[in-house]
Chain A
Amino acid sequence: MKKLLALSLGIALAFAAAAQETFPVNGTSNKNHTTYAFANVKIVVDPETTIENGTMIVKDGMIIAVGAKIMIPKGAVIYDLKGKTIYPGLIDAYTTYGMPEVKKVPAWGPQMESNIKGAYGWNAAVKAETEANKIFTDDSKTADEMRRLGFGAVLTFQKDGIVRGTGAVVSLGDGRENELVIKDKASAMYSFDKGSSSQDYPSSLMGAIALLRQTYLDADWYKKDKSKKEYNISLESFINLQGLPQIFETTDKLNVMRADKIGDEFKVSYIIKGSGNEYQRLDDVKATSCKLIIPLNFPIPYDVEDAYEANNVSLAELKHWEMAPANPLALEKNFIPFAITTADLKDKKDFWKNLRKAISYGLSEKQALRSLTITPAELLNLSDKLGKLQNGMIANFIITSGNLFDEKTVIYENWIQGNPYRISDYNAVDVRGNYDLSYGPNRNTYQLKIEGEPEKLKATIIADTAKAPATVAVSGNSISITFNSKELAGIVRLSGNLNKDPLFMNGKGQLPDGSWITWSATYTSALNADVKKDTAKKQPPTYGQVIYPFCAYGQKADDRDGFDKVVNDFKNRYDAILIKHVTVWTNEAEGILKNQDVYISEGHIVRIADDINASTLAFAKVIDGTGKHLTPGIIDEHSHIALISVNEGTQASSAEVRMGDVINSEDISIYRQLAGGVTCAQLLHGSANPIGGQSAIIKLRWGRSPEQLKFAGADGFIKFALGENVKQSNWGDANVIRFPQSRMGVEQVYYDYFTRAKEYDAKQKLSALSKTGAAFRRDLELEAIAEIMNKKRFITCHSYVQSEVNMLMHVGDSMGFQVNTFTHILEGYKVADKMKARGIGASTFSDWWAYKMEVKDAIPYNAALMASMGIITAINSDDAEMGRRLNQEAAKTIKYGGLSEEEALKTVTLNPAKLLHIDNKVGSIKVGKDADVVLWSDNPLSIYARVEKTIIDGQIYYDNEQDLKLREEMQKERARIIQKMIEEKKNGGATQKPVVRKQKLFGCDSMQEDYLETQ
């Protein structure tokens, strides 16, 4: 064994001796190959392996031996570290250490093109060419800060853009960059944030996603294209990124799933930089199988003492404050691999405080260490160099006074690449304790108590019952004590020597009158107050449960505590429901049926009959519908709720963007609309451009994740828009650059895009048949438009005046497509015959008008008139407020134009179902259809009607009685957390002022620009 060790030492020596460098030396060279031995020390090799009393040998920046019985080579500098512990140096896999500052210069007015000069790609947010290793410079101030926390190596990258190029792993030592770079191309970096790019596109989250998607396709084409007519640095670089670990930054739990979805499309497994709220949708995060890098940015308490102001702190904020420290625990319990980063901390000094808080919530120390050593090393493919204390690894390690995770523990030294960085002196004498102090001419004895942190000592002089504070300063082996003596009426200053073993101090001092005296202090006992405190503290904190969604009116998934089992399976859901004696608005040939029983099971309507015997149906919830009305769920054909962003209006066409990418399952509007009987909605892109984005059709399954909200199997739709919004008439004088600016231009946009899409489609079909295998560039924008002509995607077109409506119908006639639905269509009554002839549907407002020039001729009789002409006519909301009383809006078609009550109800149920091609599943109460129904207190078209229950897929998603319970629970939960917050404030915690957030927008600031009114 000894022999083997000697042999390996020899090899290491030989290798080290061969190291050479290029830099000339000014003066005499200073080659240093000292061997360092750290002996008699507890060595934590990795989270699983600890050597209680071992030795570690370091030479030339590398660990060359670690073990319990290691022979120390001759001529080694030996550090006897008895009582101390060595840990691997910590690794932070997400920093911008040593990167130049990113400056954003906002564009003045619209900027359609990239302003980066050179042979780069078209969009300035794709910065694939950035290489952190080339722009990294040593930053000793930040390095020092990180070293004090115990870090030895970090991944660093330029935090700018959607594609951010490569990250580099660098050492936190001081010195020449040439020696600090450990791995030059360690990772590829991505985000949804366009960063410093002042180019308009993308202005929204869905635009960012579309851009990334298209970049993958472009790179693929670029790689295969042999002609290389286009030289593109950005794409070349993007291709080169692909072999590296792919790290994607997210700013919210829902973005984890969004990133993963892109990864699935392009067969990339991202490492996700999380935001700290992953516990809020843990099962979805787990299902991604992504590895995470998570921050410890726990929020500080809000100032909630003023009861009125406290109302402005949302339930989500209160609960997140309480639960954020449990995020690492939740991940650990669910076996989701994660690294921990210092990123996102406002003050890096909070790192240990917060990590210890996470541990107090239950995170294991082993996992914490793993997340700071082995896991980041693995994520960056550096397991052979960093993260453990093993032979052949880089000599990054820290020397501590004991268990790294203990509050009392001090990090003495942080060794990086074999060089020591002293943080505090481990030879320093710990002077804390109780002493007998005697001084002065009479050598009276007093009690001296020294306590506090080694760096910040506090002392007290006690004479009988009188106490006087004293200042104590220790430097090496000398000590000084200063205090105000009442007895002597002035300041006494004592200086002297420290004797370590046994603890004893003595020396000389000066009294207030200037006379010199001698003094001494003898250690009598250790401090004992702290012991009590420690045992009292061990109680792990308690906290509430996760609710789905994580906001007001969210519900617990089940009654379990903590994060042991995550199955998002909601309670209070029923397999079967029987509604008795209810008036049923069938929307079928049967019309309105009185006193019926409706049986719902496994998500479908199973039976409608005069009398269904409840006792024959096991497990059915029975609802008495006497005097009540049951209608199909309301379908809002035109909605913008439950979205992170609405418009990608930076170009005349944004056909490539998908609303399905940006569904926001945590939007309170979902719940509010359920309370208005809405079960289904088409989430449309805004109307900022002639060709908008692809719609998402959802069911309002409150609590479920974005993917679970989607209406399975629904046809694809796309938003088009005409008129004032697309020609930017009301956007102010700066917006006169983007084409089109008139209705004339709008027509040409369509002809141009459809012509190009037609050609594209032909080429694509040809390419599929071709045997040459020539590279074909997939263009997601043209593909979406080609789908329209191939009848695979359907148009919902925002429209107002007759001229433009007529125009688009003609474009359709000549290009071979048909508009599916004209939405808004306030002058539809003027061209109803033309629409009818083409079988085009209409989705309109009941009575909106006079808000802009193009709605001057809008009339509330429009819907009834179009319906009378045989056009499938729906009433929509386009408004989160009106969306929750669409039954009232439907009823206006009775007042204005005299539709029958049945026809009126159809404008918000069966007709929109038809327009969305989902009438085979929803829109009427018919055996076999989805059980999406609403129970009303009254005739649903009456203003006095209230929703009692909203049922989707046979499950109750809104219940007016449950609603009252939720309010009560919410109030209790808020009160509980507020009490806790005030307690924390009293204990000296910092607080932040509450600010109302009416609409919570996820994603980065740049995403807020697209919060656009859309009528």
Chain B
Amino acid sequence: MKKLLFIITLFIATISEAQTKSILIMNATAHLGNGTVIQNSLIGIKDGKISLVADATTAKIDKAAYDEVIDATGKHVYPGMIAPNSTLGLTEIDAVRATNDFREVGSSLPNVRSLIAYNTDSKIIPTVRSNGVLMAQITPRGGIVSGTSSIVMLDGWNWEDAAYKIDDGIHVNWPRIQSRKYLDEDNIYPGPYEKNKEYSRQVNELKKLIGDAKAYNETETKEEKNLRFEAMKGIFTGAQTLFIHVNNVKEIIEAVSFVKSNSIPKVSLVGGRESWMVAELLKENNISVVVARVHDLPDRPEDDVDQPYKLPALLQKAGVLFCLNNEQGEMEAANTRNLPFMAGTAAAYGLTKEEALMAVTLNTAKILGIDKTVGSIEVGKDATIFISSGDALDMKSNNVEQAFVKGISIDLNNDQKALYEKYKKKYGLK
């Protein structure tokens, strides 16, 4: 027990204890994020935690016990959405190299840590949280082992106090059976797909790296310290999740058999565009999927026209734990603000609305290993929630009026709103 406690204190970093008010949100439709909806709800916040979740039609409540009472009649309350596998804060402008901090040189860099490059002052972040996305897993890109991710709250003075779970996972890009080279040095012109002749060599190298790291971490006395191996320790103990970025079904099968043979306790696939074809295998092995961008095109002309839209529903039906993400390469950080609408599209193509919400809240928290403290509106969890005047999964009604991170109301303004106001004023528009 003591040991467990130690781990928790290590990973849940201390955040400056801001003064939090106690708040009561009344009469909203509460989407708890665990599948339950309370049409007319009472939600209490105390000491940054949710202290009350009740049905207003039956529960008796003393309003005076709260510093602030918010009447949210006709509005909706949601748990803060979580963007897994994100480069938020690691990039500002795609085309400007100086602003990009998500890729390091080399192919096996488990020890490279995203957290310390996470820029809390990125102009993109305020545009994201104003749509209801309040947390993110900041993740490096590139290479075969890209590095170590961390989970942050999208509010904080610096990375240190934004950190929620430090070094939560190691990210591996499974080698591709088919690869596509760019025809130019700036990776603008993609060439045709070609069979990757290096595939088996790359897979063997990856297997060797992980095998060696496992052996290293099991050895009592280390002859020489190896930073890369040390960085991977957590994936063998279960303290960290191994995130394998993989889409092709054959690659998925190989990846699953590999993690099985190395008894890696916590594994999640990122992408998983063809994961539905082997859903049983994933379910049996308790492997979750961080589903590829929903707003994307099918891979092949023959694929179902709505294949990426319905992938979440296929996994839901098969009983595989999954969540949604926005990885897309270009504009992926800026587009994180559309995460709610990807859930909306998934709901249009087979999920129920509450299942769709789970795919960006509680499921994500489960996959990231933070569901004990966030991801749903439940007593005892962090009050990281928001109020929208309408259905937050639908862009025509998503309108975040108030958001709280650990019970503290956050600023929902951003530079874009400021420019809007400035020019409205110029033109005399209301």
Q: How far is the CA of A729 from the CA of B96 in the complex (A)?
A: 10
Minimal beta-carbon separation of A671 from chain B (angstroms): 7
Q: Scoring A residues 866 to 882 as 1 if CB is less than 8 Å from chain B, else 0, what string do you get?
A: 00110000000000111
Given A865-B429, A888-B395, A974-B302, A944-B344 contact (CB < 8 Å): yes
Contact B185 A732 (CB under 8 A): yes
* Residue B333 lies at the interface, judged by CB distance under 8 Å to chain A: yes
Q: Which chain A residues lie closer than 8 Å to B13 at the CB level? A: none
Taking the closest CB of chain A, its distance from the CB of B256, in whole angstroms, is 14
Contact B348 A995 (CB under 8 A): no
Q: Which residues of B contact A939 (CB under 8 A)?
A: 396
Instruction: Spot the interface stretch: B20-28, B154-162, B420-428.
Output: B420-428
- A560 proximal to B (CB < 8 A): no
- In the bound assembly, the distance between CA atoms of A942 and B396 in angstroms comes to 6
B94-A852 in contact (CB<8A): yes
In the docked arrangement, what's the CA distance between A853 and B93, Å?
Answer: 6
Bound-state Cα–Cα, A730 to B97, Å = 10
Q: Are A1012 and B178 in contact (CB under 8 A)?
A: no
Contact status B301-A861, CB under 8 Å = no
Instruction: Determine the residue in chain B with the shortest Cβ distance to A996.
Output: B193
Question: CB-CB < 8 A to A942: which residues of B?
Answer: 394, 396
- Interface contact A856-B183, CB-CB below 8 Å: no
Of A170-178, A269-277, A843-851, the one with at least 4 CB within 8 A of chain B? A843-851
Contact B300 A894 (CB under 8 A): no
Cβ of A860: which chain B residues have Cβ within 8 Å of it?
A: 416
Interface string of A514-549 (1 = CB under 8 A from B): 000000000000000000000000000000000000
Interface residues of A in 820-868 (CB under 8 A from B): 829-830, 832-833, 847-853, 856-857, 859-861, 865, 868
Instruction: Give the contacts of B268-299 with A (CB-CB under 8 A).
Output: 277, 295-299
- Within the assembled complex, what's the spacing in Å between the Cα atoms of A672 and B306? 9
**Is B330 within 8 A of A851, CB to CB?**
yes
B337 contacts A by Cβ under 8 Å = yes
Contact A312–B334 (Cβ < 8 Å): no
Q: Is the CB of A1009 within 8 A of B189?
A: yes
A864 closest partner in B (C-beta): B420
Q: In the complex, which residues 83-110 of chain B have their Cβ closer than 8 Å to any Cβ of chain A?
A: 92-96
Do B300 and A853 touch across chains, with their CB atoms under 8 A apart?
no
CB of B110, distance to nearest CB on chain A (Å): 29
B7 beta carbon closer than 8 Å to chain A: no
Set of chain A residues within 8 Å of B249, measured between Cβ atoms: 308
In addition to A731-B184, A880-B297, A970-B302, 9 A-B residue pairs with Cβ atoms within 8 Å of each other are: A830-B423, A850-B334, A851-B330, A851-B334, A891-B395, A895-B398, A942-B396, A1008-B189, A1013-B330
**Chain B interface (Cβ < 8 Å from any Cβ of A):** 92-96, 123-124, 178, 183-186, 188-195, 249-250, 277, 295-302, 304-306, 330-331, 333-334, 337-338, 341, 344-345, 347-349, 393-399, 416-417, 419-420, 423-424, 427, 429
A885 proximal to B (CB < 8 A): yes
The reply on A104 being an interface residue by CB < 8 A is no
In the bound complex, residues from chain A placing their C-beta under 8 Å from that of B188 are 730-731, 1012-1013
A residues in contact with B298, CB < 8 Å: 672
Check A1011 against B301 for contact (C-beta < 8 Å).
no
Q: Determine how close the nearest CB of chain A comes to the CB of B184; give it in whole angstroms.
A: 7
**With an 8 A cutoff between CB atoms, is A803 at the interface?**
no
Near B by CB (< 8 A), chain A positions 620-672 give 668, 671-672
Q: Are A946 and B185 in contact (CB under 8 A)?
A: no
Q: Is A675 an interface residue (CB 8 A)?
A: yes
B395: A residues at CB distance < 8 A? 888, 891-892, 894-895, 943
**A963 contacts the other chain (Cβ, under 8 Å)?**
yes
Closest 5 pairs (CB-CB, A-B): A943-B344, A852-B95, A552-B301, A850-B334, A668-B301
Q: From the candidates B295, B296, B301, B427, name the one contacting A314 in the complex (CB within 8 A).
A: B301
Closest to A894 in B: B396
Complex Cα spacing A995 to B296, Å:
21
Q: A724: CB under 8 A from chain B?
A: yes
When distances are taken between beta carbons in the complex, the residues of chain B under 8 Å from A946 are 348-349
Residues 62-100 of A contacting B (Cβ, < 8 Å): none
Minimum CB–CB distance for B381 against chain A, Å: 27
Q: Is the CB of B396 within 8 A of A732?
A: no
A-B contact list, 20 entries, CB within 8 Å = A731-B184, A850-B123, A850-B333, A851-B94, A859-B419, A860-B416, A868-B427, A869-B429, A885-B295, A895-B396, A904-B396, A942-B396, A943-B393, A943-B396, A946-B348, A970-B302, A995-B194, A996-B193, A1000-B301, A1008-B183
A998 shortest CB reach to chain B, Å: 6
Docked-complex contact B420 and A888, CB < 8 angstroms: no
Given contacts A314-B301, A945-B348, contact A848 B193 (CB under 8 A): no
B124, B193, B338, B396 — which one has the most chain A CB atoms within 10 A of its CB? B396
Query: Would you give the shortest CB distance from A614 to chain B, in whole angstroms?
Result: 30
- B185–A314 contact, CB under 8 A? no
SS class, residues of chain A in contact with chain B: loop
Chain A residue at smallest Cβ distance from B399 = A895
Bound complex: CA A950 to CA B194 (Å)? 36
CB distance B331 to A553 under 8 Å? no
Residues of B within 8 A of A1013 (CB): 188, 330
Residues of B within 8 A of A808 (CB): none
| B347 lies within 8 A of A857 (CB) | no
The residue from B300, B337, B423 contacting A865, defined by CB atoms under 8 A apart: B423
* Chain B residues with CB below 8 A from A868, complex form: 427, 429
Complex CA–CA separation, A859 to B330 (angstroms): 18
A730-B429 contact in complex given A830-B423, A847-B338, C-beta closer than 8 Å: no
Query: What CA separation (Å) do A860 and B334 show in the bound complex?
Result: 12
Distance between B77 CB and nearest chain A CB, rounded to angstroms? 18
Q: Which residue on chain B has the smallest CB distance to residue A889?
A: B395
Q: Which of A884-900 contact B (CB under 8 A)?
A: 885, 888, 891-892, 894-895, 897
Q: Which of B96, B192, B194, B333 lies in contact with A1008, CB distance below 8 A?
A: B192
**Alpha-carbon gap, A895 to B127, bound state (A):** 13
1/0 contact string of A302-336 vs chain B (CB within 8 Å) = 00000011011011100000000000000000000
CA distance A193 to B69 in the complex (A): 73
Question: Contacting B184 at CB < 8 Å: which of A314, A732, A996, A997?
Answer: A732
Shortest B278–chain A CB gap in Å is 10
Q: With A552-B302, A885-B295, A1008-B183 in contact, is A308–B190 under 8 Å at CB?
A: no
B300:A848 contact, CB within 8 angstroms = no
CB distance from B247 to the nearest CB of A (A): 11
CA of A833 to CA of B250, assembled, Å = 57
Min distance, Cβ A656 to any Cβ of chain B, angstroms: 23
| Residues B93 and A850 in contact, CB atoms below 8 Å apart | yes
B302:A997 contact, CB within 8 angstroms: no
Contacts of A943 in B (CB 8 A): 341, 344-345, 347-348, 393-396
Kindly list chain A residues whose C-beta atoms are within 8 Å of the C-beta of B398. 895
Task: Report the bound CA distance from A675 to B344 in whole Å.
Answer: 18
Question: Judging by beta carbons under 8 Å apart, are A881 and B295 in contact?
Answer: yes
Question: Of all chain B residues, which has the CB nearest A315?
Answer: B302
CA–CA, A548 and B123, complex, Å: 48
- B349 / chain A contacts, CB cutoff of 8 Å: 946
With A and B bound together, what is the CA distance between A314 and B303 in angstroms?
10
Contact with B along A921-951 (1 / 0, CB 8 A): 0000000000000000001011111100000
**0/1 per residue, A667-682, Cβ < 8 Å to B?**
0100110010000000
Residues of B within 8 A of A882 (CB): 295
Residue A980 CB within 8 A of the other chain: no
- In the assembled complex, the CB of B120 is this many whole angstroms from the nearest CB of chain A, namely 17
List chain A residues, Cβ under 8 A from B420: 829, 859, 861, 865, 897
Whether the Cβ atoms of B94 and A967 lie closer than 8 Å is no
Assembled-state Cα–Cα distance A864/B344 (Å):
23
Whether the pair B186, A1012 counts as a contact (CB closer than 8 A) is no
Q: Is the CB of A833 within 8 A of B95?
A: no
Q: Are B186 and A730 in contact (CB-based, < 8 A)?
A: yes
A552-B302, A998-B300 known; A944 vs B416 contact (CB < 8 Å): no
**A995–B178 touching, CB < 8 Å:** yes
Contact B189 A891 (CB under 8 A): no
User: For residue A880, which residues in chain B have a CB less than 8 angstroms away from its CB?
Assistant: 297
CB pair A672 B305 closer than 8 Å: yes
Is A993 close to B, CB under 8 A? yes
